[in-house]
Amino acid sequence: MDLIFSHSPSSYITLILLLFCKGLSGATFTMVNRCSYAVWPGILGNAKLDSTGFELTPGSSRSVQVPPTWSGRFWGRTGCTFDPTTGQGSCTTGDCGSNQIECNGLTAKPPATLAEFTTGSGTQDFYDVSLVDGYNLPMIVEPIGGSGTCLSTGCVTDLNQRCPAELRDQSGEGCKSACEAFGNPEYCCSGAYATPSTCKPSVYSEMFKSACPRSYSYAYDDATSTFTCTGADYTITFCPSVTR
């Protein structure tokens, strides 16, 4: 301990500053693109980050840090075209409607695979990979470090290859949820079906669940789809084991 805590005032000040800075920092999220094509991650949260959207070429990665207490989501946009001069453009799937590479407080247009997080400063983080808004590309979330259960979750199956015709997005690059495709209360868990006792898994959400057992398949799929970890950083990988 004497080697760490020297008796000079400057050492105490340095230690206090280090502890203070660590207390102010939140989780680091590293997004990795293992797809054979470019992916443009989108980010939406309750506090603005340094970036809310950018391009990841195949094989590249980029990290962002969130505040100590943060709630938000990450997703991958595909088929994007942005003008090199004006920066304006759009994406085939996961588009956030900002007309820019930055999403600027807007969320993904379904269908889109979503990684959702609520992180706490020294308390449990809650996270899931959701198909409630449909699917557009494979994704896996892996906690790095941390304590607790800290399991990885996601969907590594290419659901676009097995998507029923009635759920297929017009672009052919996404698979809609039954709620998005049909709008019926029993699929959307709304109206008379707005409780866990009345809204049950549909044949479509069961198809999602069978292909991706740890993913959130419909509105009340909490028991097998929400995970916890304390003090972790996270890696979000697009196309972790499959490509198109």
How confident is the chain (244 residues) per 10-residue block, as mean pLDDT?
A: 39 36 74 97 93 97 96 97 92 96 96 96 92 96 95 95 94 93 95 95 95 94 93 97 51
| Lookup result for tokens 């088929």 | 79
Residue 42 confidence (pLDDT): 97
Note the pLDDT of residue 6: 40
The pLDDT of residue 172: 85
Instruction: From 160, 142, 143, 149, select the one nearest 211 (Cα to Cα).
Output: 160
Distance separating alpha carbons of residues 79 and 81, to the nearest angstrom: 7
How big is the CA angle at 130 (ends 169 and 87), to the nearest 5 degrees?
60
Q: Which residues contact 183 (CB under 8 A, 6 or more apart)?
A: none
Which pLDDT belongs to residue 24?
A: 60
pLDDT of residue 11: 39
The rounded Cα 70 to chain-centroid distance in angstroms is 13
3-state secondary structure of 100: strand
CATH of 26-238, picked from 2.40.50.1020, 2.60.40.420, 2.130.10.10, 2.60.110.10, is 2.60.110.10
Cα pseudo-dihedral 61, 35, 84, 45, rounded to 10:
-60
Cβ of 56: how many Cβ atoms within 10 Å? 19
Torsion of CA 188, 90, 113, 220, to 10 degrees: -20
Distances (CA, A) of 172 to 92, 98, 201: 10, 22, 25
In which residue are the tokens 């939406």 written?
44
Tokens (6 digits) for 37: 């094509």
Largest CA distance in the chain: 72
Give the tokens for residue 165.
């015709």
pTM: 0.87
